[in-house]
Amino acid sequence: MPRVRIKSRARWRPVVSLPDTLSDRVVELAGPPEQIAMGLERMLDALAALKIPARLPMPVILVGGTNGKGSTVAYLEAFYRQAGYRVGAYISPHLWQFTERLRLDGRSAPEFLWHQLLTEIADVAHQIPLTYFEITTLAAVRMMLAAGVDVAILEVGLGGRLDAVNAFTPDCSIVTTVDLDHQDWLGPDRASIGREKAGIFRRGVPALYGDMEDPCASVLAAAICADVPLQQLGRDFRIDPLLGKWSGFGQEKQVPAPLWAAPAQWANLALAVAALSLLEAKLPVPDTAISAWTQAPELPGRCQWRQPWGQGGPDLLVDVAHNPQAARQLATLLAARKGAARCHAIVGMLADKDMAGTLAPLLHWVDAWHVLEITDTPRAAAAAQLCDILEGMNAITVSVDVDMEQALEVVRTTLAGGDILLCFGSFHLVKQLPMAWLQSGPA
């Protein structure tokens, strides 16, 4: 079948998003989130100035890794809430609104509290050149302290060793997976990245690692060198998807199915249950609190199947996947469901990502590509660049210079019931979808 490049005559239009004065306020204090400066010195100075202890009064769980951080945080949050604890969950980045970055008892922290804390931090930010993520982290932790949460779950933003959340002393550290991403900051290979991820480990503090099939040697070596009691999925604890059972540390627990559809979600669920077990002396959780979902959080944009056009239209699979490992997981989902159905993909990526490595696992499953150029960040890859990469890998049909509205209209009129629309590549791309689509019921 010949390859076809379809060019739209439409001009690019900026992404229309909801007003986000909070993000604008952080930009005023620190500059845009694209301005990254690794290191803990600024955070430690700011903690001292704000009188925030590195050892927080509540148990702290640090969650790092290449993929699976957000869902692991969500599982921990849900289980602890179901056990009756007050939970603070800090994540990044946000999808639609800045307030998504901190959940207190399952709800986004209110905007007025963010503004209040940012005002308090402003004087320190004028003296110490804090980054966007550092200011956000400081404000989130101060809100957790003010709210008196029983447990603080902090997602690592970038890497681990030099990330802002690593300024806080953990009671448990989790590395979900290690794969290629952010090589400009973390190193050129998996071993280098693994060492950075393992930087959230502490001597004598329990830690968990989730790569079961191909564990990263540098993570294991870092744990040995630092005298960290590391527990590894598949070696020290396990999960059985068929029976819905977790086992490890001399225990066995019945667990519910993961909240999101992907085989890797069982590993994220296993890590969360393992963390509960390791912290049992500090935060006891009865088995009944993890046997079913009663306080399930939302996590838009992670392996979500939806039917936005109803029963007669195509199914929508949405994921913020932006690296090769995440794309391989998406390919597994498509392989299990596609059959004889057609699949179109809407994709947009950042230029500093491994674009070819991310696109390659999906080539066999996608029948037509709609390439979008992300417009709300200077890190965006040009649509023509993505198109050239796809054509260089012999993708069949590639549409370029098409905005989200146009791509969705083409898909709606081309695909039928049972066909699949895949939307992936970046948080910046996924947030262009209608918010209601990702908050509706599963397909």
pTM of the model: 0.91
Asked if residues 160 and 64 have their Cβ atoms less than 8 Å apart, the reply is: yes
According to the model, what pLDDT value does residue 191 have? Answer: 94
| Residue listed under structure tokens 């009129």 | 413
Report residue 383 as tokens: 């649509």
Range with lowest mean pLDDT among 291-295, 373-377, 378-382, 399-403: 399-403
Q: 239-263, pLDDT tens digit by residue?
A: 999 999 999 999 999 999 998 878 8
Length of the chain: 443
Report residue 169 as tokens: 């002393």
Residues 124-140, mean pLDDT to the nearest whole number: 96
Q: 187-243, pLDDT tens digit by residue?
A: 889 999 999 999 999 999 999 999 998 999 999 999 999 999 999 999 999 999 999
Distance (Å) of CA 296 to CA 104, 212, 265, 303, 426 = 14, 26, 14, 16, 24
Distance from C-alpha of 430 to C-alpha of 62, rounded to nearest angstrom: 26
Greater confidence, 144 or 184? 144
Dihedral over Cα of 130, 132, 135, 141: its sign: negative
According to the model, what pLDDT value does residue 401 have? Answer: 58
According to the model, what pLDDT value does residue 8 have? Answer: 39
Report residue 256 as tokens: 């519910």
According to the model, what pLDDT value does residue 13 have? Answer: 35
Q: CB 153: neighbour CB atoms within 10 A?
A: 28
According to the model, what pLDDT value does residue 12 have? Answer: 31
According to the model, what pLDDT value does residue 402 have? Answer: 64
pLDDT band at 16 (very low <50, low <70, confident <90, very high): very low
DSSP per position, 200-233: G--TTS-EEE---SS--HHHHHHHHHTT--EEEB
Closest by CA position to 387, among listed 12, 10, 6, 9: 6
Residues 160-186, mean pLDDT to the nearest whole number: 91
Range with lowest mean pLDDT among 114-118, 236-240, 355-359, 397-401: 397-401
Asked if residues 199 and 159 have their Cβ atoms less than 8 Å apart, the reply is: yes
Residues 154-163, mean pLDDT to the nearest whole number: 94
According to the model, what pLDDT value does residue 204 have? Answer: 97
Range with lowest mean pLDDT among 34-38, 131-135, 207-211, 397-401: 397-401
Residues 21-47, mean pLDDT to the nearest whole number: 91
Q: Kindly state the percentage of the chain with pLDDT values over 90.
A: 71
| Residue listed under structure tokens 């009865």 | 286
pLDDT band at 21 (very low <50, low <70, confident <90, very high): confident
Asked if residues 370 and 5 have their Cβ atoms less than 8 Å apart, the reply is: no
Greater confidence, 186 or 362? 362
| Residue listed under structure tokens 């990245």 | 193
Residues 261-271, mean pLDDT to the nearest whole number: 92
Please enumerate in sequence order all residues whose Cβ is within 8 A of that of 5, keeping only pairs 6 or more positions apart, or say none: 387, 391, 398, 399, 400
The per-residue pLDDT of the chain, averaged, comes to 90
Distance from C-alpha of 377 to C-alpha of 381, rounded to nearest angstrom: 10
Q: Which strand (E) or helix (H) includes residue 245? A: strand 245-248
DSSP per position, 295-352: SPPP-TTSSEEE-TT-TTS-EEEEE---SHHHHHHHHHHHHHH-TT--EEEEE--BTT
Asked if residues 333 and 420 have their Cβ atoms less than 8 Å apart, the reply is: no
Q: 61-111, pLDDT tens digit by residue?
A: 999 999 999 999 999 999 999 999 999 999 999 888 899 999 999 999 999
pLDDT band at 34 (very low <50, low <70, confident <90, very high): confident
According to the model, what pLDDT value does residue 442 have? Answer: 44
Distance from C-alpha of 428 to C-alpha of 43, rounded to nearest angstrom: 27
Greater confidence, 136 or 299? 136
Closest by CA position to 286, among listed 257, 253, 246, 258: 253
According to the model, what pLDDT value does residue 409 have? Answer: 87
According to the model, what pLDDT value does residue 240 have? Answer: 97
Closest by CA position to 322, among listed 70, 78, 149: 70
User: How many alpha carbons lie under 13 Å from residue 233 in its C-beta half-sphere?
Assistant: 28
According to the model, what pLDDT value does residue 14 have? Answer: 36
Dihedral over Cα of 270, 275, 278, 284: its sign: negative
Q: Assess whether pLDDT exceeds 60 at residue 443.
A: no
Q: Assess whether pLDDT exceeds 50 at residue 318.
A: yes
Residues 36-60, mean pLDDT to the nearest whole number: 96
Distance from C-alpha of 95 to C-alpha of 159, rounded to nearest angstrom: 20
